[in-house]
A and B are shown apart, each in its own frame.
Chain A
Amino acid sequence: MLEIIIHGRGGQGVVVTSRILGTAALYDGLYAQDFPLYGAARRGAPVMAFVRIDDEPILLRGYIAKPDIMVLLDESIIDVMDVFLDLSDDCTIIVNTTRSAGDFRGAHPEIKDLRVFCVDGTGIALEYLEKPIPNVVIIGFLIGITHIISIDAFMKSVRDELGKYPENLIDKNIDGALEACELMTEVRGAAR
């Protein structure tokens, strides 16, 4: 089973990120579970969402303590929560930041030898959508690194989950995500 945790702030699309991944996994013929964790949430407050993906029915529920993948849609979450505490040694961290992976690692020695991949998702989102909402772009980046879901399933899922938005906005999100997915080949070399 693959377990993913997504950290971000209310309004950045944390919950939608988990839903896109869950629905895409279902399109790929896998079992999935996605859910948010928040209090009385408001825009800007820390929000977490979780995804479990498996090739058999999923029995585990609730909080994921040791994820296989951690996505940080907002780097500033690190200042308010100890997100790296107790992570397992094979956790992959994906960060939305303007820093390089090397700089990020230097600023956060507590992540030790964990794999870190950085991308300026907000920059790409601003370029494509003219809005600082990086979530779909970051999923593209995540697919480029992990291949946990197929591009086809991802695109179908984005259309389902963003269905209430105008078609051209969905297209721009997908274009941004595909660019981030291809960026991956560059970044992978600098990760370690």
Chain B
Amino acid sequence: MIAGNGAAAWGARLARVEIIPNFPITPQTAIIEEIASWIASGEMDADFLPMESEHSVQSALAAASSAGTRVFSATSSQGLLLMTEMMFVTSGLRLPVIMVNVSRGLSAPITLWSDHNDVLVQRDSGWLQIFCSNNQEVLDSVVMGYKIAENNDVLLPMMINLDGFTLSATREPVDIPGQDEIDGFLPEYNPKHTILDPKEPMSMGGAVFDEYMYFRSQQRMAMQNSKGVIKDVCAEWEKITGRNYGLVESYCSDDSARVLVICGSESAILKYTVDKLRAKGEKVGMLRLRAMRPFPCEEIIDALSRVEEIGVIDQDISPGSGGIIATEVKACLGRGVTSFIAGLGGRRIGAEKYEKIFGRLGRDVEEWIF
């Protein structure tokens, strides 16, 4: 029985991370506490660097990764926002940093509960973004993350998101792969390009003029490459563990007339609802976006092209525009969807409300589910 936070810590341990700069914030703190206890007991050989703020954590991640080490950290909500300036530096320097975010609503007012606005604020930061639906997926995604991010066709940092409390503090059965299995899957980090070494001094991220746009286009290309790399790494992972992941998870959406698009741990409750309604003969399904960046547009078109009515659940809001994921799904499909804003600040949705939501599709409007 392992909570989402424990699963994240296990992923980092199995990946043999070497440096963990960190700063505590609820509901993430248990991740770095667990790692600290393993380092103290000698079960894990890594350097634990308590920093003075999240901004410094992100700076230290970039610096340590530049020195050629495999690095890890975790944050949440306000902590992720405080990192913002340095997030763009890490991705611009093309460093394969893996960081877990435990999603929590943003202040003010203060909430400790899950909400996706913290992650989605960072969607333009040049990081790969993966949303997990259960604790097993958290562990698996952290390990796979290094193999994806360190691929020479990618070299981008990755943020792995798990929902506060509904995953982070919830324990459920998790299979922990053996260290031998992981060592066979994930080789030691051996960077080809960026290694800070006092013997061979090098400047990174210096000022440029017209070349700036070239670097941004390289980042875009890396993001495009990552789609194929994610699929390949997931296929390899499936061979070892039998667990199958991809850019999206399509659940009963092939023959469905009505489909809800969702991301994160709420998808499990939606699956429960889909099972219940299909048992009554209703043709409903679910499409879970596992990758938010790269945005899986082709996969969404594939899964939804024959679907009559589409709804999108957003646990986030861009005031003045609307549900962030609904906006992106509409742009991708070139057609209207029903946009549901729900579960902000962890407000309970529950299976009974998903049933009602399925009855309210077919309108190109935004509806708030309280």
Contacts and interface: CB of A to CB of B under 8 A. Distances in A.
Contact of B171 (A34, A59, A62): A34
Interface string B155-191: 0000000000110011111000000000000000000
B358 to A, nearest CB: 16
Contacts of B266: 61
Interface range on chain A (Cβ under 8 Å from partner): 20 to 34
Nearest to A18: B171
Nearest to A22: B1
A33 B265 CA distance: 14
Given A22-B1, A39-B112, A40-B112, A61 B173 contact: no
Chain A contact surface mostly: mixed
Interface string A7-35: 00000000000010011001000011111
B351 A60 contact: yes
Contacts of B268: 59-61
A65 interface: yes
A63 B114 CA distance: 13
Measured as residues with beta carbon below 8 angstroms from the partner, the interface class of chain B is 20 to 34
Contacts of B275: 59
A31 B1 CA distance: 10
Contact of B272 (A19, A22, A26, A60): A60
Contacts of A35: 3, 165-166, 169-171
A62 B169 contact: no
A21 to B, nearest CB: 10
Nearest to B348: A63
A59 B269 contact: yes
A33 B269 contact: no
B305 to A, nearest CB: 27
Contacts of B272: 59-60
A190 interface: no
A83 interface: no
Interface string B20-33: 00000010000000
Contacts of A33: 170-172
Contact of A26 (B26, B169, B173, B348): B173
Contact of B172 (A39, A58, A65): A58
A28 to B, nearest CB: 12
Contact of B1 (A32, A60, A61, A63): A32
B50 interface: no
Given A34-B171, A60-B269, A61-B269, A23 B166 contact: no
Contact of B173 (A31, A39, A60, A63): A31
Contacts of B362: none
B26 A40 contact: yes
Q: Which of A22, A35, A40, A58 has the most CB of B within 10 A?
A: A35
A65 B348 CA distance: 10
Interface in B263-281: 265-266, 268-269, 271-272, 275
Contacts of B269: 59-62
Contacts of B271: 59
Contacts of B166: 35, 61-62
Contact of A32 (B169, B173, B351): B173
A59 B351 CA distance: 10
A19 B170 contact: no
A65 B350 CA distance: 9
B370 to A, nearest CB: 15
A60 B169 CA distance: 15
Nearest to A62: B166
Q: Give the most central of B1, B271, B272: most A CB within 10 Å.
A: B1
Nearest to B167: A61
A169 B193 CA distance: 56
A87 B351 CA distance: 17
A37 interface: yes
A173 to B, nearest CB: 19
Contacts of A62: 165-166, 269, 348, 350
A59 B350 CA distance: 11
B298 to A, nearest CB: 28
Contacts of B112: 39-40
A126 B220 CA distance: 65
A37 to B, nearest CB: 7
Interface in B321-370: 348, 350-351
19 contacts: A19-B171, A23-B1, A26-B1, A32-B171, A32-B173, A36-B169, A59-B269, A59-B271, A59-B272, A59-B275, A60-B268, A60-B351, A61-B166, A61-B265, A61-B269, A62-B269, A62-B348, A63-B348, A65-B350
Interface of B: 1, 3, 26, 112, 165-166, 169-173, 265-266, 268-269, 271-272, 275, 348, 350-351
The 6 closest A-B pairs by CB, nearest first: A35-B170, A59-B272, A59-B268, A33-B172, A61-B166, A34-B171
Given A22-B1, A31-B173, A39-B112, 14 more contacts: A19-B171, A22-B171, A23-B1, A26-B1, A26-B173, A34-B170, A35-B169, A40-B26, A59-B269, A59-B272, A59-B275, A60-B269, A60-B351, A61-B170
